[in-house]
Amino acid sequence: MKSSWKSLSAIDLLAVAIVFYAFVLLPTVLIQGQVQTQARPGPAGQAVAKINIMAGSSLIGNIVQDVAGDKMETRTLIPPGLCPGHYDIKPSDIEALANSKALFIHDYQEYFKNITGAVEAAENPDLIITVLNVTGNWMVPVVQAAAVDRIAQALGKLDPENAAYYEGKAADRAQAILDKGEEVEDRLSDAGVEDVKVICAAMQEGFVEWAGFDIVATFGRPEDLSTTDVAQLITEAKDAGVALVIDNLQSGSTTLGASMEQDIEAIPVTISNFPGGLENTETWEKAIDKNVDLLLEALNEWEEQYG
């Protein structure tokens, strides 16, 4: 073998070297460069890693996506159709939390066992937990707008270089929410809901009150109601002439209204506190529209049957 190499001329060796570089070394370098650049594209060719955020609800997750855009990678911990306090955390949730930079949760979630247990199991000492103290039902436009501002502030602290970007996006988003709220309020006002008496789930009280309905009484989770509680609700509903029994999807059982319908001549209806809880409601706008659709459809049904 050594004699073969020695028999090659200098020109032959140079030709071999050129071929080796052109067909082996150069393609390898180019491929590696492409992989590194495409995996994490950034300004001026610099690599930029997205920040992983775990959201405690779809309400939070949607806002993070709206305000942060492609600068953050967002995952929602609690499925929107389930009660935030009763969801059983899965191993995949814990794994995602272990790889997250921050966890954004509602103030009422702070001491939920599923949240504290997931944080402990994730064993992520660098995890930043941000508790969002925004009072009120987040489906209400003014509350949703306040939540957008609060989340933008939290994102700015996580990523100071883009704080101004988040602030600008939040201002635009908040205005769009308030505009949508006025549109929905006009629709409810045209339907004359201010004269409609209802009883509703306590978890929906803030939204139903904003919508303009006359709330006669509220009730808790169905499994927490005694026979005496239900009897009292029926009495109050009959005396007031209630038209709707409004239940909360995330409270679990939604059969209370149906069981009371014949006793009080009221129509049962279930609405959602979170985007994505009902079909085709993945955004806040779609969720509020769906809630109002359901309420007005139920009201029309009541007017046809009992009005």
> CA-to-CA distance for 118 and 115, rounded, in angstroms?
5
In whole angstroms, give the CA distance from residue 251 to residue 170: 30
Other CB atoms within a 10 A radius of the CB of residue 185 amount to 15
* pTM beyond cutoff 0.85: no
Residue 210: is its pLDDT beyond 50? yes
Homologous superfamily, domain 51-183: Nitrogenase molybdenum iron protein domain (3.40.50.1980)
**Where residue 145 falls among pLDDT bands split at 50, 70, 90?**
very high
Are residues 100 and 158 in contact, defined by beta-carbon separation less than 8 angstroms?
no
- Domain ranges in the chain are 51-183, 191-305
Residue 57 has pLDDT above 90, yes or no: yes
Q: Do residues 160 and 149 touch, judged by C-beta distance below 8 A?
A: no
31-35, 162-166, 172-176: lowest mean pLDDT where? 31-35
And the tokens for 199? 């009883």
- Does residue 29 have a pLDDT over 80? no
- Sign of torsion, CA 196 254 185 142? positive
Q: Give the model confidence (pLDDT) of 73-92 as tens digits.
A: 999 999 999 999 999 999 99
Q: Is the pLDDT of residue 194 over 50?
A: yes
Inter-CA distances, 168 with 49, 175, 216, Å: 22, 11, 41
**How confident is the model at residue 49, as a pLDDT?**
73
CATH 3.40.50.1980 holds for 191-305: yes
Q: How many residues does the chain have?
A: 307
